[in-house]
Amino acid sequence: MSESPLPVLSPLEARVLAVLIEKQLTTPDYYPLTLNALVAGCNQKSSRQPAMNVGEREVQDALDALKRQTLVIDSYGASGRVMRYAHNAPKVLNIGQAMTALLGVLILRGAQTAAELRGNCDRMYQFADLSSVEAYLEDMASRSAGALALKLPKQPGSREHRWTHLLSGSVAIESVAAPVSEDAAGNELSALRAQVAQLSDEVAELRGLVAQLQEALRVAGG
């Protein structure tokens, strides 16, 4: 199968697509997502860079744009009563689950090192080692149909390259915020921050599930 041309998405369109990717791989029992769940995922406070505060109309417009590119498809799910939405990224972009997970995390969390990506992807896809992550990233950067990722130059004081996604077009490298330099103590602090971020993710997931259950009960009661 030949690779599909690379779409260019607005920041909100990219966020909606990434939320669908994230929820499919982390909470499959509640996927596809309702519009309400998508709005909550876009506005989630943890594991999002930058933070957004968008409403249903904006998310619906983004969904409509993504549907025109077949990156999103309608689905009524098991209930058959509430419109839900699913992504179609692997088929449209001709990528597997590993690259799909990497792409989703890059969109949701911004530029990251390969090590950070491996940790942040853990709930979506478990990479065997760091070299596996790097190999996938290199493949994403060298696609003949258009690069999905870009390796950024090292910042002063940084030991590792960071990567960013290209689904929203070319990136002005100087506009990508520089990472905080790390030493041995900084690595320990980063690990603690990662644990806190993971706990925040789990709390956000639980809140999202509660919201979806409440909506399902409301629909059933209606």
96-181 to CATH, choices 3.40.50.880, 2.160.10.10, 1.10.10.10, 3.90.550.10: 1.10.10.10
Whether the per-residue pLDDT at 183 is higher than 80: the answer is no
CB 21 within 8 A of CB 104: yes
**What 3-state DSSP class applies to 112?**
strand
CATH class of the domain defined by 9-93+183-222: mainly alpha
d(CA 102, CA 127): 10
- pTM (2 decimals)? 0.78
Residue 192 has what pLDDT?
60
Once rounded to an integer, what is the mean pLDDT over residues 159-180? Answer: 77
Q: In angstroms, rounded to a whole number, what is the distance separating the alpha carbons of residues 103 and 98?
A: 9
Q: Tell me the pLDDT band of 204, cut-offs 50, 70 and 90.
A: confident
For 5-9, what is the mean pLDDT? Answer: 84
Please give the order of strands across the beta sheet that includes 72-75: 33-34, 84-87, 72-75
Could you tell me where in the chain the CATH 1.10.10.10 domains are found? 9-93+183-222, 96-181
Query: Which pairs with CB-CB distance under 8 Å and at least 24 residues apart come from 63-72?
Result: 63/16, 63/35, 63/38, 65/9, 65/10, 65/13, 66/9, 66/13, 66/16, 66/17, 69/7, 71/7, 71/9, 71/17, 72/16, 72/17, 72/20
Average pLDDT over residues 64-74: 97
